[in-house]
């Protein structure tokens, strides 16, 4: 559309404001006709639907009206956003990124070593996963605040799923290979969802279910840490609370190591105190961020000089030196394990994606920049695919580290590059120093980290807002705690789907009344002062009418009518003569819905009640015309507003009374 035409349209379309208030005065009973929208052709209609479903974010908008070479540049920039924002990069921004990069690096190194244990992998694999994936993400990702690396929940999930297939101790090599295979397919899953623009599918995991799942996983992870915390050597492989507590209590007499407990609990207190300081005063956000590294250094030094490892304090012992070796040949592309790898990869990839996208969205909203969900998925997927070839396991956005990153004043994804560089230096030069790090410290660090995943404030809010959501949340939580991560996840997904199905089968309906001193008709349950109009029943359907709910709606309408007539009969008042259906919320109808309306119309005719429709929407009026339902009930039975309908019908009731 050219500029000139727009101007003209505007002139005719936009009204003078002054006419707005004055028009109220001479508001004569003017009844506006319900318009039949201009017919769209079929191809346009289908195109619009597909576009709205898959390209709702309009990703091609910047490409419009551009030269071919410009389109190419834009295309490359779309895949590697760093080329775009990199051009405006400057020293001030780098200062912020440097500080935040160093901060998250100091937080991630001890966490990585601990988390790789949750995945039943050697300590170096956590560090590997904090080296390559953040680099790839920095090139392709568009979030400025996310901190990439291994995270607790995904590590636990991956570890649980993998050890269901292979014993990580007896068949360590196969286990490791399957881990890389799963990581590869996790990346493929994520990237495909993005490329096929099916990213909206992850929206099907409801927020409440995710909160419950995360909380449950945090408890499970904390319980697993009791092994390192108490210095127990023989520990159950199950993750449910009953098995773990049994295992802990049965080894109380001879399995616990008091030296370990002393170290672990004193440092846990230190870490929690650091967390408390950080929370109390936002200025000291760096205190909890570097506390873990300090704990590691102090405790390692302490063990080294006292030789506490000879008193039964377990230490890391061996940690590979040097950067990621290639693992391309380790991935199973054939054989039995291929299918298992795909299965585990799809699950772990989806959960990792849910976490990363939630983090990305949260921080994008806080700084008000747009995030292209599908592009993000491609970036995360590519990063995991490349990661799987360089000895990394599934990496994603870490909530705790991203928050630290944000508070430390990160400006762009360069903070991830800084972190990656520090991890690289650590791998090259410092890893041997971690030899004497006690496992108890790692347990304390993980415990203090996962506490943040238990979002009790969100749970309280969920309880207040939506009881069904609360059930979903608790279901996922108890599923993880008393069952396993898989059971919890399954419960979360099932309840999410049940909610969707319930929503479409049992839509809300309401009887409307007139709000005093206005011409507005509203739900009489919400506005008890609203009054009914004699002889009329005004009924609102709060949903599209589809096959899944059409019968319910028809029956519900007849039930409202029967109830109302019983009441009127008892009170000796005149019977209902008009059923006015307020159609504003009815956004769509399908063939089953039209059938239901036709049946309702027939039933009403038998009862001598006229059917009136108020404000059918654009799609609706189109379809009601196409099915010739309008001509069967009569064009004069359709009104623009309930007020118009009442004004027309009400006098007729009075005549007949």
Question: Residue 186 and residue 183: Cα distance in Å, rounded?
Answer: 5
Choose which of 70, 306, 618, 635 interacts with a second copy (CB under 8 A): 618
Question: Residue 337 and residue 331: Cα distance in Å, rounded?
Answer: 10
User: Should residue 163 be labelled a site residue for a second copy when binding is judged by CB under 8 A?
Assistant: no
Question: Residue 323 and residue 424: Cα distance in Å, rounded?
Answer: 7
Q: Where are the alpha helices (DSSP H) in 119-148?
A: 123-129, 132-140
User: Should residue 208 be labelled a site residue for a second copy when binding is judged by CB under 8 A?
Assistant: yes
Beta carbon of residue 347, minimum distance to a second copy (angstroms, whole number): 19
- Between residues 49 and 631, which has the closer beta carbon with respect to a second copy? 49
Choose which of 416, 495, 513, 638 interacts with a second copy (CB under 8 A): 513
The 572-611 contact track toward a second copy, x by CB under 8 A, reads -x----------xx-xxxxxx-xx---x--xx--xx----
Contact 142, 81 (CB under 8 A): yes
Query: To 5 degrees, how large is the angle CA 132–CA 322–CA 94?
Result: 45
Binding positions for a second copy, 44-63, rule CB under 8 A: 45-46, 49, 52-53, 56-58
Binding positions for a second copy, 258-287, rule CB under 8 A: none
User: Should residue 13 be labelled a site residue for a second copy when binding is judged by CB under 8 A?
Assistant: yes
Beta carbon of residue 467, minimum distance to a second copy (angstroms, whole number): 6
Contact 602, 558 (CB under 8 A): no
For a second copy, which stretch binds (CB under 8 A), given 277-285, 405-413, 435-443, 641-649?
641-649
Instruction: Name the one residue in this structure whose structure tokens are 């295309």.
Output: 75
User: Should residue 636 be labelled a site residue for a second copy when binding is judged by CB under 8 A?
Assistant: no
- Between residues 435 and 588, which has the closer beta carbon with respect to a second copy? 588
Beta carbon of residue 492, minimum distance to a second copy (angstroms, whole number): 11
- Give DSSP secondary structure letters for 270-306: HHHHHHHHHHH-GGGTHHHHHHHHHHHHHHHHHHHHH
Question: Residue 420 and residue 431: Cα distance in Å, rounded?
Answer: 15
Binding positions for a second copy, 454-483, rule CB under 8 A: 458, 461-462, 464-469
Sign of CA dihedral 318, 323, 329, 332: positive
Give me the phi and psi of 240, to 5 degrees please.
-75, 155
Choose which of 123, 512, 641, 645 interacts with a second copy (CB under 8 A): 641
User: Should residue 143 be labelled a site residue for a second copy when binding is judged by CB under 8 A?
Assistant: no
- Between residues 315 and 357, which has the closer beta carbon with respect to a second copy? 357
Q: What is the largest CA-CA distance in the chain?
A: 103
- Between residues 96 and 617, which has the closer beta carbon with respect to a second copy? 617
The sheet with strand 509-514 has its strands ordered as 521-523, 509-514, 536-541, 578-582, 610-614, 638-639
Task: Show the beta-strand stretches assigned E in 84-218.
Answer: 148-149
For a second copy, which stretch binds (CB under 8 A), given 141-149, 280-288, 389-397, 566-574?
566-574
What letter does residue 539 receive in the DSSP assignment?
Answer: E
Question: Residue 380 and residue 382: Cα distance in Å, rounded?
Answer: 6
- Between residues 323 and 511, which has the closer beta carbon with respect to a second copy? 511
- Between residues 207 and 575, which has the closer beta carbon with respect to a second copy? 207
Choose which of 14, 329, 457, 636 interacts with a second copy (CB under 8 A): 14
Beta carbon of residue 589, minimum distance to a second copy (angstroms, whole number): 8
For a second copy, which stretch binds (CB under 8 A), given 189-197, 225-233, 235-243, 523-531?
523-531
- Between residues 14 and 336, which has the closer beta carbon with respect to a second copy? 14
Binding positions for a second copy, 530-559, rule CB under 8 A: 531-534, 542-544, 546-552, 555-556, 558-559
User: Should residue 314 be labelled a site residue for a second copy when binding is judged by CB under 8 A?
Assistant: no
Question: Residue 624 and residue 630: Cα distance in Å, rounded?
Answer: 6
- Between residues 45 and 167, which has the closer beta carbon with respect to a second copy? 45
Beta carbon of residue 73, minimum distance to a second copy (angstroms, whole number): 22
Beta carbon of residue 204, minimum distance to a second copy (angstroms, whole number): 6
Pick the closest to residue 521 from 405, 650, 401 (CA basis).
650
Beta carbon of residue 66, minimum distance to a second copy (angstroms, whole number): 16
Q: Is 449 exposed, middle or buried, given 0-12, 13-18 or 19+ CB atoms closer than 10 A? A: buried
- Between residues 435 and 590, which has the closer beta carbon with respect to a second copy? 590
Question: Residue 88 and residue 83: Cα distance in Å, rounded?
Answer: 10
Question: Residue 93 and residue 118: Cα distance in Å, rounded?
Answer: 36
Give me the phi and psi of 582, to 5 degrees please.
-80, 115
- Give DSSP secondary structure letters for 151-190: -HHHHHHHHHHHHHHS-TTTTHHHHHHHHHHHHHHHHHHH
Beta carbon of residue 79, minimum distance to a second copy (angstroms, whole number): 21
Beta carbon of residue 318, minimum distance to a second copy (angstroms, whole number): 45
User: Should residue 207 be labelled a site residue for a second copy when binding is judged by CB under 8 A?
Assistant: yes
Give percent helix, percent strand, percent coil of the chain, each to the nearest 5.
65, 5, 30
Give me the phi and psi of 408, to 5 degrees please.
-75, 0
User: Should residue 39 be labelled a site residue for a second copy when binding is judged by CB under 8 A?
Assistant: no
User: Should residue 443 be labelled a site residue for a second copy when binding is judged by CB under 8 A?
Assistant: no
Beta carbon of residue 40, minimum distance to a second copy (angstroms, whole number): 10
Choose which of 10, 91, 173, 305 interacts with a second copy (CB under 8 A): 10
- Between residues 46 and 83, which has the closer beta carbon with respect to a second copy? 46
Q: Which helix (H) or strand (E) holds 578?
A: strand 578-582
Sequence length of the chain is 657
Beta carbon of residue 595, minimum distance to a second copy (angstroms, whole number): 6
Question: Residue 56 and residue 234: Cα distance in Å, rounded?
Answer: 53
User: Should residue 617 be labelled a site residue for a second copy when binding is judged by CB under 8 A?
Assistant: yes
Beta carbon of residue 175, minimum distance to a second copy (angstroms, whole number): 34
Question: Residue 194 and residue 201: Cα distance in Å, rounded?
Answer: 10
Pick the closest to residue 511 from 466, 576, 572 (CA basis).
576
What letter does residue 438 receive in the DSSP assignment?
Answer: B
- Between residues 304 and 527, which has the closer beta carbon with respect to a second copy? 527
User: Should residue 648 be labelled a site residue for a second copy when binding is judged by CB under 8 A?
Assistant: no
Choose which of 242, 269, 328, 504 interacts with a second copy (CB under 8 A): 504
User: Should residue 627 be labelled a site residue for a second copy when binding is judged by CB under 8 A?
Assistant: yes
Beta carbon of residue 518, minimum distance to a second copy (angstroms, whole number): 6
């Amino acid at each position: 559309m050219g500029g000139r035409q727009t101007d003209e349209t505007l002139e005719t379309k936009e009204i003078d404001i002054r006419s707005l208030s004055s028009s109220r005065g001479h508001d004569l009973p003017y009844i506006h006709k319900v318009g039949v929208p201009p017919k769209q052709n079929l191809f346009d209609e289908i195109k619009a639907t597909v576009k709205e479903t898959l390209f709702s974010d309009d990703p091609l908008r910047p490409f419009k009206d551009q030269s071919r070479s410009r389109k190419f540049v834009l295309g490359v920039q779309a895949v590697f956003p760093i080329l775009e924002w990199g051009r405006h990069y400057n020293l001030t921004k780098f200062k912020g990124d440097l500080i935040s990069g160093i901060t998250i690096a100091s937080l991630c190194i001890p966490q990585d070593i601990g988390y790789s244990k949750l995945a039943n992998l050697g300590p170096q694999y956590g560090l590997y996963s904090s080296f390559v994936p953040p680099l790839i993400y920095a090139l392709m990702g568009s979030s400025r605040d996310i901190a990439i690396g291994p995270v607790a929940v995904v590590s636990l999930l991956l570890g649980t799923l993998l050890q269901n297939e292979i014993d990580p101790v007896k068949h360590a090599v196969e286990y490791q290979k399957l881990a890389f295979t799963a990581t590869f397919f996790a990346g493929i899953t994520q990237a495909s969802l993005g490329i096929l623009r099916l990213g909206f599918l992850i929206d099907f995991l409801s927020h409440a279910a995710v909160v419950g799942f995360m909380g449950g996983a945090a408890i499970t992870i904390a319980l697993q840490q009791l092994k390192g915390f108490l210095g127990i050597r023989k520990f159950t492989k199950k993750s449910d609370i009953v098995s773990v507590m049994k295992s802990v209590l049965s080894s109380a007499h001879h399995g616990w190591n008091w030296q370990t407990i002393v170290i672990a609990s004193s440092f846990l207190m230190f870490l929690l105190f650091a967390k408390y300081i950080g929370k109390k005063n936002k200025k000291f956000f760096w205190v909890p961020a570097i506390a873990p590294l300090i704990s590691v250094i102090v405790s390692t030094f302490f063990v080294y000089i006292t030789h506490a490892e000879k008193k039964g304090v377990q230490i890391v012992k061996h940690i590979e030196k040097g950067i990621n070796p290639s693992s391309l040949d380790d991935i199973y592309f054939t054989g039995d394990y291929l299918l298992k790898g795909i299965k585990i990869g799809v699950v772990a990839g989806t959960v990792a994606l849910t976490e990363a996208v939630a983090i990305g969205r949260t921080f994008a909203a806080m700084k008000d920049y747009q995030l292209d969900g599908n592009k993000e998925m491609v970036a995360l997927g590519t990063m995991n695919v490349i990661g799987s070839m360089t000895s990394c396991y599934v990496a994603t956005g870490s909530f705790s580290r991203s928050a630290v990153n944000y508070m430390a004043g990160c400006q762009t994804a360069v903070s991830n590059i800084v972190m990656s560089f520090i991890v690289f230096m650590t791998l090259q030069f410092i890893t041997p120093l971690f030899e004497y790090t006690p496992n108890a410290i790692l347990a304390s660090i993980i415990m203090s980290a996962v506490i943040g995943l238990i979002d009790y404030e969100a749970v309280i809010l969920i309880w207040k807002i939506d009881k069904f959501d609360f059930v979903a949340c608790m279901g996922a939580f108890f599923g993880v705690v008393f069952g396993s991560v898989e059971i919890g996840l399954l419960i979360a997904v099932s309840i999410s789907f049940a909610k969707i199905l319930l929503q479409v089968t049992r839509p809300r309906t309401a009887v409307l009344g007139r709000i005093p001193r206005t011409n507005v008709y509203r739900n009489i349950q919400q506005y008890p002062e609203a009054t009914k109009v004699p002889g009329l029943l005004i009924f609102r359907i709060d949903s599209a009418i589809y096959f899944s709910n059409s019968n319910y709606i028809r029956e519900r309408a007849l039930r409202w009518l029967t109830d109302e007539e019983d009441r009127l009969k008892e009170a000796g008042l005149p019977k209902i003569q008009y059923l006015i259906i307020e159609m504003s919320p009815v956004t769509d109808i399908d063939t089953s819905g039209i059938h239901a309306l036709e049946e309702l119309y027939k039933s009403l005719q038998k009862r001598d009640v006229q059917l009136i429709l108020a404000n059918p929407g654009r799609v609706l009026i189109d379809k009601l015309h196409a099915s010739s339902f309008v001509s069967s009930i009569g064009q004069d039975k359709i009104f623009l507003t309930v007020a118009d309908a009442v004004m027309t019908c009400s006098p007729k009731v009075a005549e007949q009374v």
